[in-house]
Each structure stands twice: as C-alpha cells, then as structure tokens.
Amino acid sequence: MNDNTPGGSATLAQPHHQVQPGPTVLSTAQLVEALPGALRKLDPRELLRTPVMLIVEIGAVATTVFSIVDPSTMGWLVTVWLWLTVLFGTLAESVAEGRGKAQAASLRALQQETMARRLRGSVDHLRSAGDLATQTIEEVPSTALRAGDLVVVEAGERIPGDGDVVEGVASVDESAVTGESAPVIRESGGDRSAVTGGTTVLSDRIVVRITSDPGQSFVDRMIALVEGSERQRTPNEIALNVLLTALTAIFVVVVASLYYVADYSDAHQSVLVLTALLVCLIPTTIGALLSAIGIAGMDRLVRRNVLAMSGRAVEAAGDIDVLLLDKTGTITYGNRQASELLPVDGVAADDLARAALLASLADETPEGRSIVTLIREQYTGIDASEGSAGSLVEFSATTRMSGLDLPDRVIRKGAASAVASWANETGLPAEQASAPQLTDLVERVSSSGGTPLVVAEQVGTQPARLLGVIHLKDVVKEGLRERFEEMRAMGIRTVMITGDNAVTAAAIAREAGVDDFLAEATPEDKLALIRKEQQGGRMVAMCGDGTNDAPALAQADVGVAMNTGTTAAKEAGNMVDLDSDPTKLIDVVEIGKQLLITRGALTTFSVANDVAKYFAILPAMFVVAFPDLEVLNIMRLSSPQSAIVSAVVFNALIIVLLIPLALRGVRYRPSSASSLLRRNLLIYGVGGLVAPFLGIKLLDLVISLIPGL
Ligand SMILES: Nc1ncnc2c1ncn2[C@@H]1O[C@H](COP(=O)(O)OP(=O)(O)OP(=O)(O)O)[C@@H](O)[C@H]1O
Ligand SMILES: [K+]
Ligand SMILES: [Mg+2]
C-alpha cells in the first residue's frame, strides 16, 4: 500500500470539474416542486424573519377583507396580486432550497443502516493485548455506534461511521461523498487518518475509532447544509434585514399619516389604495430575494465540492488578503515516503539502517511505516529484534522527533535542527551536532524539496552520535502555480507554512509558486502568524489538513480543511474541500464576492424601483383632488385604478423575474472595488429607476382594457 498513490483525489488537473452553470430561467418543474414549500412558508410565524414580506401579507389580508365587504374589480385584482407578491417571495426561497434536494437524497442513501463489527475494550488495552483486529468482535447495527467505539472494516465493506483509522492502511472509495471515482488512501498515524461513514473500503483491513454520535456525522451535516435547513443568517444579512425593516416601518408611518392628511384635504383614500401604495414603496424586491441569495451562494459552493459550515465565512472569503497553506498534505499530496538512506562518513550503511529501523518499528506515522518498508526491501537481513524491549517515543509536531528508548541506548530521528539540539543536550558539542558533512547531506535532500530526517543514537550516558539522514520524498500537487498566479492577480498573497526546514520549504515554495514561506513552524507559530496578520487588519484564509493545523484553521477568518485531512482539522475549520485542492480558495473567494455584489446590486435595484413607483401611484391617487399634480403624472397612465393595479402587478412580477439572477449571482470579474461599485450603481441603480416606467406603462396598456378599470 505504500506506493506513491496521491492521497488527495486526482481532480486537481481540472479544478473546475462538474460545475453545472446556474439556471438562467426557472423551469416549470422547478416551480411546481418548490410550490408546496412556498405555501408552507406563508405561515406568518415563518415570515417574521422577513418583516417586509410580513407587512405585505398583512396588507393582503386587509385588502381581502376590504374586497369582501366592498367588492370591486380593482379590489380583487390588487388582493390577488398582493398574495402573489408574498408567494413569489417564499417561492424564491423554496426554489433556492430545492436545488440541494436531489443531492440530499443521494447522500441519504449513504446513511442506510449497516452491520458494524465492534471491538470490545479500549484501544490501548487492546493494543497491549496484541493485534487489534483479532480481538473479540460483536456485531451491532451502525446506528448503535457511539463516539469512541472501535470497529473493524475489511475490503468490500462499508465504513459504518465517521472516525479515525487507528490501525492499518486501506484504499477507500469515497466517490459517494466526493463525486471522485479514484480511490484514496486512508491510514493510521498521519494526516490522512479520517474516514467518512458510508464510504467503502476497497482493499485491506482497518480499525477505526468512531468519532461521531448518531445524527451528527459528516454526511448528516452535509445533508443539512445542502438542504439549507441549518443555514444561519450572516451578520451582514441580518444588518441589511434590519435596515429594510426600518425602511418599511417608516413607510408604514408615512402611508398611515397620508390617510389622515388625505381625509383632511377631502381627497379620501381607501384602505385598498393605501395598502397598494405601501407595498409598492417598501423594499419588497430585496426583501423577497434576500434569503434566496444567501442559500444560492452556499449552493454554488456545494456544487464546487466545498462544504461551508458558516455563511459568515463565505462572505469573509470575499475579502481575503492573505492565504496561508500548510505544506505536507495541502500543497503536496502528503505522502512523504522514505526513498534513500545517506550515512555520514565513518558510519556503515547497515548501522544507519538498523538505527533507522529501530526508531521506526513502532512509529505509526506514514513516514515511519515507509522507512520500515524501505529498509525491509533494500537492507535484507537487518536484525531489529531488540526493538521489542524498547519503548516508543511518538512523533509530535512540537518536538519534531520520534524514536525508541532501549535499556542501554536511545535512538532518535527527526528534523535536523530538532535532533541537533537533542544531541547537544546529551553532551555532543554544538559544532559536531552540525558537522559539515551531515549539513551537506541535509542540504542535498532539502534543496531537492525532500524532507531530511536525521538519525542519532546515544549509547549509555555518552554524548549522542549522528549517523546519517533519511530522505523523505513528497510530490507537489499539479496545477498549483497557475492558480496561485490567479490569486496574485486578485490581490491575495500566498504564504506556505511548514514544520519542515527552510531549504526544503524554499524548494517546495519555488516549485508550487507561492509568494512567501515560513519554515520550522510549530502549531503555535502557525497560530501566531495568523494572529499577527489579523492584527494588521488583514483577512486571513488558511488551508490545512493536519491535527497540528487545527488551531490555525479555527483562528483564520476562513479555514478550509482538506477532505483528506484529520477529523480534528475538519472540525476546526469552517469549510471542507471534498477535492482537497488548496487552490479551490479562488472559487470560494469568487463566490464570496459574488454573494456580496449580488446582494448589493439587488438592494440598489429594489430601492431605485420603489422610488420610481412613487411617480406612478401618487399622481394617480391625488390627481382628481389636486389637478395641479398633473405635472407629476409623467407616465400618463390611462386611469388612477389602472395605474395602481399596474404598479402592484409590476411590483410582484419583478420578484419572479429576478429570482434567476438571485440564484445565479451577478457576474463577478476581478476588478477594483470602486469600479465594481460604479458599474453596479449604474446598471442596477439606473436600471432600477427606468424599469418601472417601462414596465408599468406596458402593464397599464393591457390592464386598462379590463372593464371597470
Ligand atoms: N515520523 C516522524 N518521525 C520523526 N520526525 C518526523 C516524523 N514526521 C515528520 N517529522 C519531522 O517533523 C517535521 C514536522 O512535521 P509535520 O508533519 O508536523 O509538518 P507540518 O508542521 O505539518 O508542516 P507541513 O505539513 O507543512 O510539512 C517534519 O518536517 C520532519 O522533519
Ligand atoms: K416594493
Ligand atoms: Mg501537515
């Protein structure tokens, strides 16, 4: 299993795969499907979230009562169209939600109950008792699994729940979740240990520690996400909603006082006319489409295989200044494999091999296992039986070393600087800890982009001896350079952060085409770098895959975890990229910007529209009482009644016409914020002012043909 199969999916060469373009018009099927949901949303308690639409509904109730008491053609026309206005609003939201339904249905198929083979006892207890997979096994339904349970999964079986591989290596078919058919490697110890419930093991046998309780799995969260049921409104969206509500409240007061003013000046206005006026003046267009815009933004991300757990992060992505990327597993495929052993002068190759083997026998990381494989293949006959008497010193990202403590000696392997300072502590003089020959070997490996692990041994209480270097190789993912260039054009600086040494980091940074790098970084350093950037007022995105990236992923404004990464990383970030493609951030940024622009454009359009409608209705209402208002009657509509009905109909139709735009998003082209603003004000502001004049005039020509108007 230790071949060089990329750990990520193989989709990197074609980052924009399978993105269906959004609809340009609504299909009848879509509308019919969305209708039941739209009707349910007419419940006033649901409408409380969008007070603008609640006011329209109250208005519709008022005109219904009015029309029953005092029936007229105009009364019923206004009433019907007011109800349609509310319905079009709920329909927009329902259509937006509907787009995720098919995907949710296929995800639900992954949740079917399977039998799981659960091990009795804790992992440590089982491990000390021998091979995990031969322990007592009980069959339980997958729904009975709880976080902490251990299960065995073999080739051909479905993984019964989310978890981390604690023993073994397997190739896994994750296509049901990621849509990518190439199998991925999942293995214990490293950053590729997380498995998703519902995916299938293709080869070998793994022991998985379940990490989620029923109902809280990754697939559960995905379903909630694509259905939009868990959508939290973002601070921006809430602020805009408050603004729209305030505007609505002002118009309610204005129109109510108009009732008295009109009465006083003998130009009495009916509840019907005033309600129609109110609905035309309040920002119904954006009120109706606001929620659909947000849902559609999340949906566009899902279509690009990115799961955003928070809408706030999607909006933040629109303003990103810096992108930090972990190296191993993010920029590279994360399959660091031992490729050669390089002993220093005076050390026999077999002695280095034995020490390296001893230091790796119990090392469950992919690096450790690949060292064992290499030595077993190339240095046959090395005896490492004494290893069983030793105790493992596990690798940690903080010490950057691992090894074995034997009764008579201690063996360490790890990052050159870490091993050098350890050797120094055992009494090895500093100049010997960085002897020129060893430094040469380290340089040689590093400058090729490889990771050097220095191997050292301390016998008794003597100073440690440095034996040589293990060359770990990793492969940079394809197509990164062009995409990082695109980011540069968008004004985003890319910085690679790695626990590796500076020379390796520089080589990989050059190959991948990032702007800058930070080497020998501990998890704390990664976190500190993000804080520093944020304190400088910059918005930071972070892409990572490892448990050691988790704090940084949590701190970043946008934290994108690779799907190949650990459970800890996926839980810490606010997005997961199912394709494990760090350059996917470009799409995330574009969608974030597009979301903000679409909301701004439709708000501008909505308000401009309402201003224009004022000129259609007010002259019509008062022209009989005040003939002087004739100068304002620039639209020359056929009758006051027809004018009012036309305005109400236009107000409702414009919502339906704009649903496709709300769902698809306003087109985003990289350009400066100010030119974007200018362009949008021009199109949506001026467009919003002109549209009602044309629309209402045309409607009036038709509506005036109706008898009684
Ligand atoms: N199994 C291991 N035993 C000893 N040392 C290791 C082992 N694995 C990695 N190292 C050393 O520790 C350093 C840090 O490794 P780690 O996987 O934490 O990197 P990182 O911080 O995630 O950065 P990146 O993923 O970007 O390379 C490596 O560069 C390597 O020198
Ligand atoms: K309106
Ligand atoms: Mg890593």
Nearest CA-CA partner of 215 in 265, 162, 165: 162
Determine the pLDDT at residue 352: 96
Nearest CA-CA partner of 166 in 203, 200, 125: 125
Ligand nearest to the CA of 566: 3
DSSP 442-469: HHHHHHTT-EEEEEEEEETTSPPEEEEE
Q: How many CB atoms lie within 10 A of CB 80?
A: 18
- The answer, yes or no, to whether any atom of ligand 1 lies below 6 A from the CB of 499, is yes
Determine the pLDDT at residue 230: 64
Rounded Cα distance, 365 and 193, in Å: 10
Nearest CA-CA partner of 18 in 331, 300, 315: 300
- The answer, yes or no, to whether any atom of ligand 1 lies below 6 A from the CB of 451, is yes
Low-confidence residues of the chain: pLDDT under 70:
1-25, 121-135, 228-230, 624-625, 629-634, 670-673
Q: Determine contact, residues 703/642, Cβ cutoff 8 Å.
A: yes
Determine the pLDDT at residue 376: 93
Helices (H), 282-388: 284-303, 311-317, 349-358, 366-378
Q: Around ion ligand 3, which residues have CB less than 5 A away?
A: 326, 328-329, 546
- In this predicted model, what pLDDT tens digit does every residue of 407-425 receive, in sequence order? 999 999 999 999 999 999 9
Going from the Cα of 131 to the center of ligand 3, the distance in angstroms, rounded, reads 28
Residue 549 DSSP class:
G
Determine the pLDDT at residue 130: 54
**Of the listed 164, 326, 577, 700, which one is catalytic?**
326
Q: Which among 404, 453, 514, 564 is the best mutation to test ligand 1's pocket, defined by most ligand atoms within 8 Å of the CB?
A: 453
First to last CA, the chain: 80
- The answer, yes or no, to whether any atom of ligand 1 lies below 6 A from the CB of 149, is no
Rounded Cα distance, 591 and 353, in Å: 51
Name the residue at shortest CA distance from atom 18 of ligand 1.
397
Ligand nearest to the CA of 655: 2
Q: 629: buried, middle or exposed (CB in 10 Å: 19+, 13-18, 0-12)?
A: middle
Determine the pLDDT at residue 108: 82
Determine the pLDDT at residue 10: 35
How many helices, marked H, and strands, marked E, lie in the chain? 26, 22
326 catalytic? Reply is: yes
Name the residue at shortest CA distance from atom 15 of ligand 1.
499
DSSP 594-644: HHHHHHHHHHHHHHHHHHHHHHHHHHHHHTTT-GGGGGG-TT--S-HHHHH
What is this structure's pTM?
A: 0.79
Name the residue at shortest CA distance from atom 21 of ligand 1.
499
The answer to whether 309 is a known ligand-binding residue is: no
Q: How many CB atoms lie within 10 A of CB 488?
A: 14
Q: Which among 192, 336, 367, 474 is the best mutation to test ligand 1's pocket, defined by most ligand atoms within 8 Å of the CB?
A: 367
- Phi first, then psi, for residue 192 (nearest 5°) are -120, 40
Rounded Cα distance, 684 and 44, in Å: 31
